[in-house]
Structure 1
Amino acid sequence: MSLLTITDLTLRIAGRTLLDHASLTIEPGRKIGLIGRNGAGKSTLLAAIAGDIAPDGGSITLSARATMGRVRQEAPSGSASLLDTVLASHEERARLLRTVEEETAPERLADAHERLLAIDAYSAPARASTILAGLGFSQEDQQKPVSDFSGGWRMRVALASALFLAPDLLILDEPTNHLDLEAALWLEDWLARFSGAVLIVSHDRALLDKAVDAIAHLDHRKLSLTPGGFERFVQIRTEQALQQNRAAQKVSEQREKMEAFVARFRAQATKARQAQARLKALARLPQIESVVEAAPTVFSFPDPGQLPPPMLRLNKVDLGYGKGDGQKTVLGNLNLRFDMEDRVALLGRNGQGKSTFAKLLAGQLAPLRGEMAANPKLRVGYFAQHQNEALVLEETPIDHMSRALPKATPPEVRAQLARFGLDAERAETSVGSLSGGEKARLLLALATREAPHLLILDEPTNHLDLDARDALIRALSDFEGAILLISHDSHLVEAVADRLWIADRGSVTPFDGDMQDYRRWLDERARQAQTEAGKASPSPGGTPAPSNAGARGNRKELTRRLAPLRREIRDYEARLEKLGKKCQLIEEKLADPALYQPSSGTGAEEIATLNSALNGLRNEQEEVELQWLEAQTRLETELG
């Protein structure tokens, strides 16, 4: 039995066909991630499923009596509290409660009470509060009016309302864009436990790996369904492409042989019958097109050059806003240091001062107290999540970059834009006509225009598709400078950062552990908060979460005890990465034919020196790999 059936669907926008006779079936309880390049038509498809636009052909059928929920496009507003706003989104519950208050007929009252019990109406406030808490709203926040919050936080309320309804089919379009990492991790767990079906458009690889059981790929105006998460989708699609290319090559070879035979013997009477048979066989050969993948997205950061340590140091710094009696300290007593090789992810809930800390390092905010000492030659690049509001919509990327680099020549301006995939056509397009992902690329190009030693990225992936996110990860891996990353994308954090800092309770402190440890730390803190509040944490199904103080203590002690071993493993991994890059450089030199030409001036002794250095690096690699393996084995043994 299917919950949603899409049959031969055709959708067109402004004369452009986005879907052409596409089909998809979603069964009850199925969780599907919808992916595709920017502009492929994913959001348009969701709008058609929700009934906002009519199909140009085909049909979309939701099973009888099934309910469908989605996040409203407009953020909620008004004087109602957050909790009341979420509760009011369940229109049937609100109507039944009014009936109970106003109705006097015994039979109607009995029916209303029976239905309230059936929809679990009386536990609704607790369920709504749990969802709001998971999305980052404290108990105090939940009693405040919606009008007290900014647009991003109001969109969280809209998401909370959609989750609270727990429909048979939940439709979500980039739900993590307005979330911090903590709320995004909570949403992953919530969706994994949700009993209904989900169709979710997302570029968040971690979400697509942990919260869905199939991937629907919108490509070339068709929909194809692949079981498993995103990683499994990539594996299957790669293998399918290889098989298709092999089959196309085989058919092409057969075709060439037959055509050669026909061309050679067609005119000879003795071979005419065989030639005709070959012609008929040619007509029966299948048309198999080789898979030609779109050119991969490539980003590149300019080489900043080296700075001696310390690059930047904070000593007892207090940070905040205002002056005199109106001064407000956001972060206090910061004692931190940055060097060229540092790759730090700054974690913490929204409102804990992460962006304020980024502004301090970017030079946009001065310390209230304490000392911030930086190398006088330090260059900082800053990508801020709200910078796109400062873009001039009528101007082109070339206009923006020319203003930012007044001494650069036109080719240099275009080269900096090209580093982030803004080719000649896009570079000359008005910013107002660019997609969200293209605007993000422009902001990255602007942030790195002066080859920064320290690159600060505050939510850089909000509008980037999966290919662009992978390109950003590759570029950051090759970047020679320091990185401060603020992101809700846990895949990006795990791929880029080798150290974690936490903004929490008015300070920024290093965290001993990796993302897996951080997830456990968040779970532990959430259980502790629930215990202190005197209530357990219900899941979407209403089952209380267990609380075990002894187990918590054991986990905390285990995390503390294993922290040095985890640091040791990360150090080995960093050494292996550096050794690999050094080996690659020497191998590239030795692979250059020009090196062996007499005109190069390179002697046999220098070539021997390069080979000797390469052998030494490879021996060191083997030694470090053994040390890493031993440390990893010890860690796995400790974890049981």
Structure 2
Amino acid sequence: MSLLVISDLTLRIAGRTLLDNADLTVEPGRRVGLLGRNGAGKSTLLAAIAGDIAPDGGEIRLSSRARMARIRQEAPSGPANLLQTVLDGDIERAGLLAEAEVATDPARLADVHERLLAIGADSAPARAATILAGLGFDAEAQTRAVSEFSGGWRMRVALATALFLQPDLLLLDEPTNHLDLEATMWLENWLARFAGAALIVSHDRNLLDRAVHAIAHLDHGKLSLTPGGYDEFVRIRTEQALQQNRAAERIAQRRAHMQSFVDRFRAKATKARQAQARIKALEKLDHIESVVEDAPTRFAFPEPAQLAPPMLTMERVDAGYDGRAILRGLTLRMDMEDRIALLGANGNGKSTFAKLVAGRLAPMRGTVAAARQLRVGYFAQHQADELLPDESPIAHMARALPDATPTVLRSQLARFGLDADRANTASRDLSGGEKARLLLALATRDAPQLLILDEPTNHLDIDAREALVRALAEFPGAVLLISHDAHLVELVADRLWLVGDGTVQPFEGDMADYRAWLGERARIASRTAEGPGGTQAAGSQAATQAGRQPGAPPAGEKAERRDRAEQRRVLAPVRKRAQDAERRLAQLAAERSLLEARLADPASYASGRSAEIIAINTRLSVIERAAGDAEEQWLLAEQELEAANTEC
């Protein structure tokens, strides 16, 4: 019997149809990833399943007696500690325990204890503590009041409560947005072992590949189910699109052939009957639309001026707040070709280090020396709270670039997909993904040589995340990345730095090594936490057993990083040629449009203006030749770039 059945579902918000007679079935124990572009209606669908909003048509049926759980919209608060807050989330258990304290009827008391035994009430505290620990709360933190934590950490408590309930159906809406990389990896493993069914809205490719059985794609109001994770979804969808395009081409060819016969022989009496037969056949031909993909998402960072090395150095630096050092003894260096990702749990000092590099936090001790002309672009999700709700992106950009022309302002916003309509929309009406794009545009307005990106993919859909990866691959400057998105880290970072125990040190390995290191450290910590040395000894032993001593790089890894940096350096002139040619084509196209408009104006042909018409036509001929040359240069540069990427 199916657990969840959605039939002919129609959902509308503010007059806009999000789901139009959509269907979906979720079987017991099946975990389904819900995928779709920003604004497609994924969160609205979860709200309808949870009963928060009523459908405009169709039906949502949940199996009788099935338990459903979801993350609450509001973060929990109050004086109760974290462990008790999670335990109180199980209303049935809390009610039975309360009744067991006051019940006097022996039969009822026996029923209560039997039910408590059936739901595992005795083991519940240990299970809740394990979930909280996996989401980053140590034993001491679990005893503190919820109200002592920030909003992001309290949302982790809400997630822990939903997981603790062990429902038949678990609804999760972007569960990794408030997690660090370590907690995200733990959640992937937890979901992979979860026995119930789940419907998970996420743009995290790793999560969708590791933790779900199928992908439900919400597109143009319809839901389609594809078996497997995200990579399999992409493969199947691409194959279906190719088949549909081929079928459409075949039908179009048959239609053109028949139409040609009709056009040639319709007027000939001897062929009239055959022509009529062809017309009837044309009417019966299937109408198969070729697949027209949505316009691809594109990001483009401004190209920075080159800096001589070193870009930035630190010597014996301590950093922290209010006289308390969080990071100590930092001696590090960054150069233009560096692509560095910071690893380590939230609270270890990653954001502190980012602010130190950005110049937003002064060192307590030691020296930070930056190149004289260094410009830093700093992006952090909390900056969205600083946007003025009544002002548009163009107004925010005008304040940031007071001397820029409107064309320059719009061009900078367009680099990150904010078109003319969105550029004039009040920021309160922008989606989370659109606000992230605005923050990226603001952070890079001065063509910085160093990009510091603190969780840049929160609220970005998968297409936008891939656009960010492509833009970073083409960016010739340095990148310092903090992200819970392992896929982004793997594609962008050449070097990994581990932030923990008050310091920042290179982690000599890749993300697979880091996963193994975390897993081994957790296993050893669970066995040795009570012994002398505790976590520190466990972490050291885990690093050794994971096959890598700190500071001992694997053979060839440094050379590989140097090769990638060298390739970016070598390809930089080629990218510049392509960009220059693209800009030249745009300029020529704009000039051509103006000249053609003048030719289309009857006033241009007034008496005495023939010389002007000749000059315009002569200039148009020059433009056509120049556009051909620019297009050829662009094609050659793109072919070089494509060949270089293929070789890699």
TM-score range, shorter chain: 0.7 to 0.9
Match of 2:466 among 465, 470, 474: 470
Q: Could you tell me whether the CA contact under 8 Å between 2:520 and 2:545 is conserved in 1?
A: no
Q: Could you tell me whether the CA contact under 8 Å between 1:513 and 1:567 is conserved in 2?
A: no
Query: Structure 2: how far apart are the matches of 1:589 and 1:321?
Result: 46
C-alpha change, 1:583 and 1:316, in structure 2 (3 Å) is same
Query: Structure 2: how far apart are the matches of 1:2 and 1:534?
Result: 46
**1:430-579, aligned counterparts within 5 Å?**
430-533=426-529, 553-556=544-547, 563-575=554-566
Instruction: Check if 1:128 corresponds to 2:119.
Output: no
Instruction: Check if 1:391 corresponds to 2:383.
Output: no
Deviation at 1:371, TM superposition (A): 0.6
**1:100-111, aligned counterparts within 5 Å?**
100-111=100-111
Query: Structure 1: how far apart are the matches of 2:311 and 2:85?
Result: 48
Match of 1:406 among 402, 406, 410: 402
CA distances 1:284-337 after superposition (whole Å, capped 9, x unpaired): 100101111111111111111211111100000000112xxxx11111111111
Deviation at 1:14, TM superposition (A): 1.0
Report the counterpart of residue 21 of structure 2 in structure 1: 21
**1:145-164, aligned counterparts within 5 Å?**
145-164=145-164
TM-score, structure 2 normalization: 0.86
Query: Structure 2: how far apart are the matches of 1:35 and 1:551?
Result: 36
Report the counterpart of residue 54 of structure 1 in structure 2: 54
Q: Which residue identity is paired with 1:301?
A: F
Instruction: Check if 1:207 corresponds to 2:207.
Output: yes
Deviation at 1:74, TM superposition (A): 0.7
C-alpha change, 1:405 and 1:580, in structure 2 (3 Å) is closer
Q: Could you tell me whether the CA contact under 8 Å between 2:20 and 2:222 is conserved in 1?
A: yes
Query: Structure 2: how far apart are the matches of 1:563 and 1:385?
Result: 34
Query: Structure 1: how far apart are the matches of 2:338 and 2:578?
Result: 27
Q: Could you tell me whether the CA contact under 8 Å between 1:320 and 1:356 is conserved in 2?
A: yes
C-alpha change, 1:453 and 1:587, in structure 2 (3 Å) is closer
Query: Structure 1: how far apart are the matches of 2:553 and 2:373?
Result: 39
Query: Structure 1: how far apart are the matches of 2:550 and 2:234?
Result: 33
**1:164-313, aligned counterparts within 5 Å?**
164-313=164-313
Bigger Cα displacement from structure 2, 148-157 vs 563-572? 563-572
Query: Structure 2: how far apart are the matches of 1:307 and 1:580?
Result: 17
Deviation at 1:232, TM superposition (A): 1.4
Deviation at 1:427, TM superposition (A): 1.0
Query: Structure 1: how far apart are the matches of 2:84 and 2:284?
Result: 67
Report the counterpart of residue 86 of structure 2 in structure 1: 86
Q: Could you tell me whether the CA contact under 8 Å between 2:309 and 2:336 is conserved in 1?
A: yes
CA distances 1:513-555 after superposition (whole Å, capped 9, x unpaired): 01111111111221222112359xxxxxxxxxxx9x9998543
Query: Structure 2: how far apart are the matches of 1:348 and 1:550?
Result: 17
Deviation at 1:134, TM superposition (A): 0.5
Query: Structure 1: how far apart are the matches of 2:73 and 2:347?
Result: 24
Q: Could you tell me whether the CA contact under 8 Å between 1:500 and 1:513 is conserved in 2?
A: yes
Deviation at 1:9, TM superposition (A): 0.4
SS in structure 2 opposite 1:509?
A: strand
Q: Which residue identity is paired with 1:157?
A: V
Q: Could you tell me whether the CA contact under 8 Å between 2:521 and 2:543 is conserved in 1?
A: no
Query: Structure 1: how far apart are the matches of 2:581 and 2:417?
Result: 31
Deviation at 1:505, TM superposition (A): 1.2
Q: Which residue identity is paired with 1:247?
A: A
Deviation at 1:590, TM superposition (A): 13
Deviation at 1:576, TM superposition (A): 5.2
Deviation at 1:447, TM superposition (A): 0.4
Report the counterpart of residue 629 of structure 2 in structure 1: none
C-alpha change, 1:321 and 1:89, in structure 2 (3 Å) is same
Gaps in structure 2 of 5+ consecutive residues: 532-537, 586-624, 627-632
C-alpha change, 1:517 and 1:550, in structure 2 (3 Å) is closer
Q: Could you tell me whether the CA contact under 8 Å between 1:30 and 1:196 is conserved in 2?
A: yes
**1:133-144, aligned counterparts within 5 Å?**
133-144=133-144
Query: Structure 2: how far apart are the matches of 1:584 and 1:364?
Result: 32
Q: Could you tell me whether the CA contact under 8 Å between 1:517 and 1:559 is conserved in 2?
A: no
Instruction: Check if 1:344 corresponds to 2:348.
Output: no
CA distances 1:451-499 after superposition (whole Å, capped 9, x unpaired): 1111100111111111111111110110011000011111111111110
SS in structure 2 opposite 1:518?
A: helix
Q: Which residue identity is paired with 1:567?
A: K
Bigger Cα displacement from structure 2, 576-585 vs 297-306? 576-585
Deviation at 1:278, TM superposition (A): 1.1
Query: Structure 2: how far apart are the matches of 1:223 and 1:249?
Result: 26
Q: How many residues align?
A: 592
CA distances 1:591-619 after superposition (whole Å, capped 9, x unpaired): 999xxxxx99xxxxxx9xx99xx9xxx9x
Q: Which residue identity is paired with 1:379?
A: R
Instruction: Check if 1:428 corresponds to 2:424.
Output: yes
CA distances 1:74-108 after superposition (whole Å, capped 9, x unpaired): 11111111000001111111112122222222222
Percent of paired sites with the same residue: 65
Deviation at 1:441, TM superposition (A): 0.7
Deviation at 1:118, TM superposition (A): 1.1
CA distances 1:172-192 after superposition (whole Å, capped 9, x unpaired): 000011111111111111111
Query: Structure 2: how far apart are the matches of 1:95 and 1:408?
Result: 64
Q: Could you tell me whether the CA contact under 8 Å between 2:524 and 2:542 is conserved in 1?
A: no
Q: Which residue identity is paired with 1:529?
A: A
CA distances 1:237-293 after superposition (whole Å, capped 9, x unpaired): 111111111111111111111112122222333222222221221111001011111
C-alpha change, 1:195 and 1:406, in structure 2 (3 Å) is same
TM-score, structure 1 normalization: 0.87
Deviation at 1:4, TM superposition (A): 0.3
Deviation at 1:574, TM superposition (A): 4.5
Q: Could you tell me whether the CA contact under 8 Å between 2:339 and 2:495 is conserved in 1?
A: yes
C-alpha change, 1:552 and 1:589, in structure 2 (3 Å) is closer
Query: Structure 2: how far apart are the matches of 1:500 and 1:551?
Result: 18
Report the counterpart of residue 327 of structure 2 in structure 1: 331
Gaps in structure 1 of 5+ consecutive residues: 536-546, 594-598, 601-606, 629-640
Query: Structure 1: how far apart are the matches of 2:24 and 2:428?
Result: 34
Query: Structure 1: how far apart are the matches of 2:82 and 2:579?
Result: 60
Deviation at 1:392, TM superposition (A): 0.9
Query: Structure 2: how far apart are the matches of 1:378 and 1:433?
Result: 35
Deviation at 1:584, TM superposition (A): 7.3
Query: Structure 2: how far apart are the matches of 1:416 and 1:582?
Result: 22
Q: Which residue identity is paired with 2:224?
A: S
Q: Which residue identity is paired with 1:184?
A: T
Query: Structure 2: how far apart are the matches of 1:555 and 1:273?
Result: 80
Report the counterpart of residue 635 of structure 1 in structure 2: none
Q: CA RMSD in A?
A: 2.9
C-alpha change, 1:359 and 1:410, in structure 2 (3 Å) is same
Q: Which residue identity is paired with 1:54?
A: A
C-alpha change, 1:586 and 1:145, in structure 2 (3 Å) is closer
Q: Could you tell me whether the CA contact under 8 Å between 2:520 and 2:542 is conserved in 1?
A: no
Deviation at 1:414, TM superposition (A): 1.3
